[in-house]
Amino acid sequence: MGWFERTITPGREYHKPLTEIEDDVFLDIGATRGKTTKFWMQLVLASIIAAGGVIGDATPAVIGAMIIAPLGTPIYGLALAAVTGDRRALRSSLTLLVSGVAVNILIGVIIGLITVNRMPIDVNPQIVGRTAPAVLDLTVAIAVGIAGSFALARRDVADILAGVAIAISLVPVLAVVGITLGSGHFSLALGAFVLFLTNAAAILIAGAIVFKTAGYAREAENLDERAGRRARLAIVILVVLLLIPLGASSASILQYELWKEDAQAAAEKWLEGSTWVFDTAEQSGNELVLTVRGPDSPPPIGDLKAAIREKIPDWVPVTLIEDTGQEQEL
């Protein structure tokens, strides 16, 4: 037995049996009515709070939504069903997940339609930070999936860890999908949805690994190995396919960082010997924005434009903002 397996199943007193964990993640087992009511009530409330927190850039509200969000239930249910090969559980968990996602996005759309003017979409950090997924996000999501499924499989780890971990990667992201759809920013909505799929797929595969290691496949009474293999293969294929846009997004982020450095170097050299100083170089969507300040007239703008275009392609918009508020395209 390897170190990881010993960590997941250190002793029977800490290991949750399959029947107990099934009761945790499957709504159609045990107190079905109570669990279903609790799930939908928490989901609706978490969706409203998350969307409101994202719109108003209110981090405490977003954190509050994370704490009560129940979306981890069907995701971990899918991971467990993929290990035990339970066809019924696979179907019910997938249906619950799709329904929950749809409701979460719909609430975001409605709130986005009525409140989006409170803060412009392209400058809201709660939104901008969740619309450009990268390979790093996949890595973080895998860690989240391990943490959450580990908490579910062990009696000595607080159950809240599973809910909070999954919510961090999903609830705010789905709120962003709905808000950007409602405001007509479809490219941003697509980026946020890719991030959601990345997080969900990574958490699924990490959860399946932990549940497999914990021995739940051996505990399953009616193991359908064929159904389990198909489910696990589908998850792996989804992760592999998602690596394509994630890789492209990561390369784009790196390229823009290099262009920002080139633009900053060009601006600082342009201002040498003058009373003006360079302030910031930022990326806004596909545009680079340079900010400079000074007491009088800046040096000839043509010199900066020539230096910028030596390093940065013409199709990349570059804007210079002076401290007077005047803007010039380079």
Beta-carbon contacts of residue 130 (< 8 Å; ≥ 6 apart): 172, 173, 176, 191, 192, 195
In a shared domain, residues 18 and 157: yes
The pLDDT, as a whole number, for residue 214 is 84
- How many CB atoms neighbour CB 174 within 10 A? 32
258: pLDDT strictly greater than 80: yes
Number of H helices, E strands in the chain: 13, 4
- Does 249 map to a domain? no
Say if 246 falls within a structural domain. no
Instruction: Note whether 276 and 157 are same-domain residues.
Output: no
Q: Within a domain: residue 201? A: yes
- Domain endpoint, select from 205, 223, 241: 223
- Do 165 and 207 touch, CB atoms closer than 8 A? no
In this prediction, residues 13-26 reach a mean pLDDT of 80
Buried b (16+ CB within 10 A) or exposed e, 46-59: bbbbbbbbbbeeee
What are the phi and psi torsion angles at 15 (to 5°)? -85, 125
Question: Does residue 245 belong to any structural domain of this protein?
Answer: no
What band does 299 get if pLDDT is binned at 50, 70 and 90?
A: confident
Same domain, 159 and 261: no
Residue closest to 271 by CA, chosen among 295, 299, 310: 299
Length of the chain: 330
d(CA 285, CA 291): 16
Q: What is the pLDDT of residue 306?
A: 86
pLDDT over 70 percentage in the chain: 85
In a domain, 229, yes or no: no
Residue 17 and residue 166 in one domain: yes
Residue 228 lies in a domain: no
Q: Are residues 311 and 208 in the same domain?
A: no
Question: Which positions ≥6 away from 196 have C-beta within 8 Å?
Answer: 101, 170, 173, 174, 177
Tell me which of 225 and 289 has the higher pLDDT: 289
pLDDT of 312: 87
Q: Provide mean pLDDT across the span 191-212.
A: 86
| Spatial distance between the Cα atoms of 186 and 207, rounded to a whole number of angstroms | 31
Q: What integer pLDDT is reported at residue 105 of this predicted model? A: 93
- Tell me what pLDDT residue 83 has: 87
> Would the pLDDT of 8 be above 80?
no
Please spell the DSSP secondary structure of 11-52, one letter per residue: -TTTBPPHHHHHHHH-TTSSSHHHHHHHHHHHHHHHHHHHHH
pLDDT, tens only, 104-146: 999 999 988 887 566 667 667 778 777 777 777 788 888 888 8
Which among 73, 28, 30, 21 is positioned nearest to 220, based on CA atoms? 21
- Which structural domain range is residue 73 located in? 3-223
Asked if residue 126 belongs to a domain, the reply is: yes
The DSSP H or E segment spanning 320 is strand 318-322
**Domain count along the chain:** 2
Q: Identify the pLDDT of residue 160.
A: 55
Complete DSSP assignment for 134-146: -HHHHHHHHHHHH
With bands split at pLDDT 50, 70 and 90, how would you rate the model's confidence at 252? confident
Please report which helix (H) or strand (E) contains residue 271, including its range.
none
Domain check: are 283 and 197 in the same one?
A: no
- Name the average pLDDT for the chain: 81
Q: Are residues 112 and 11 in the same domain?
A: yes
Residues 218 and 260 in one domain: no
199 shares its domain with 148: yes
Q: What is the pLDDT of residue 12?
A: 60
- Residues 56, 174, single domain; the answer is yes
The reply to whether 325 and 183 lie within a common domain is no
The whole-number pLDDT of residue 44 equals: 92
Q: Look up the CATH number of the domain holding residue 205.
A: 1.20.1080
**215 in the same domain as 66:** yes
Specify the pLDDT at position 170: 83
pLDDT category of residue 10 using cuts at 50, 70 and 90: low
- Above 60 in pLDDT, residue 4? no
| pLDDT greater at residue 1 or residue 308 | 308
As a whole number, mean pLDDT of residues 165-181 equals: 79
Cα separation of 25 and 38, whole Å? 13
* Rg of the chain in Å (alpha carbons): 24
In a domain, 216, yes or no: yes
What is the spatial distance between Cα 142 and Cα 302, in angstroms, rounded to a whole number? 49
* pLDDT above 60 for 253: yes
Rounded Cα gap, residues 44 and 26, in angstroms: 19
